[in-house]
Amino acid sequence: MEWLMDPQVWLALTTLTALEVVLGIDNIIFISILAGKLPREQQEKARLVGLGLAMFIRIGLLFSLSWLMGLTAPLFSVLGNEISGRDLILLSGGLFLLWKSTMEIHEKLEGEQAHTSVKAATTFGAIIVQILLLDIVFSLDSIITALGMANKLGVMVAAVVIAVGFMMFFSGKISAFVESHPTIKMLALSFLILIGVALIGDGLDMHIPKGYIYFAMAFSVLVEMLNLRLRRSHPVKLHNPYEAGNGESN
């Protein structure tokens, strides 16, 4: 347990938790839209159940991917580099983050404003099933980010639990803050690009020290916090593919 005294572990936990919260905003928004289909007295319960499911799904994926990361026996060679099962996960995860973050940035800035339509029956069970399927999709970038940010499974699980707990209590305020300061969302997506590159480097045996990544993230966040404090600007409105349609009833 001596790793608990390592300052870099606590830095990884703090950074990863913050990223998990910011990257989970879209999940919160979509869960709120789906829960809004239910009677008012069931909506809060559905949101809490949805976020709880998200936590358990992410923890389950973390354990399964962490086990797969132990597959270090070489499978084949590419340009003199031996590629193992672990390397394949790192490479595919890094490429996924590059694709996901680039697509998200495009959709937020230049994509069309979309409306989500929920066709299924608005029973509590039907909504929970939809939330469950949604959580699986939204968990992929979160889990791959965790694998790229921390080396300890305990740190990853703790970050997921803390982030989901934080979102359960402050989902409204978190959503409002990110909505009013869209650069925070853009920074988080740019961090995904950085983490994706680091994962690809690890998969090709070109390790990038985590300290460099933490410093780049911390410095960027510090600059943006100073910008928010010192400048009175009118932020752009990010496009949102998860808004409820006009013709839908709550």
Over residues 150-167, the pLDDT tens digits come to: 777 788 888 888 888 887
Res 111 pLDDT > 70:
no
Confidence of residue 248 (pLDDT cuts 50, 70, 90): very low
Average pLDDT, the chain: 75
pTM score, whole prediction: 0.66
Tell me, what's the pLDDT at 33?
Answer: 64
Per-residue pLDDT averaged across 14-30, rounded? 75
Residue 249: band (very low, low, confident or very high) from pLDDT cuts 50, 70, 90: very low
- Structural domain boundaries in the chain: 8-73+82-237
The whole-number average pLDDT for the span 173-179 is: 68
Q: Using a pLDDT cut of 70, give the percent of the chain over it.
A: 75
Q: What is the pLDDT of residue 3?
A: 59
Asked whether residue 104 carries a pLDDT value surpassing 50, the answer given is: yes
Label residue 22 by pLDDT band (50, 70, 90). confident
Q: What is the average per-residue pLDDT within 69-88? A: 76
3-state secondary structure the chain: CHHHHCHHHHHHHHHHHHHHHHHCHHHHHHHHHHHCCCCHHHHHHHHHHHHHHHHHHHHHHHHHHHHHCCCCCEEEEECCEEEEHHHHHHHHHHHHHHHHHHHHHHHHHCCCCCEECCCCCCCHHHHHHHHHHHHHHHHHHHHHHHHHHCCCHHHHHHHHHHHHHHHHHHHHHHHHHHHHCHHHHHHHHHHHHHHHHHHHHHHCCCCCCHHHHHHHHHHHHHHHHHHHHHCCCCCCCCCCCCEECCCCCC
Question: pLDDT at residue 117 above 50?
Answer: no
pLDDT reported for residue 77: 78
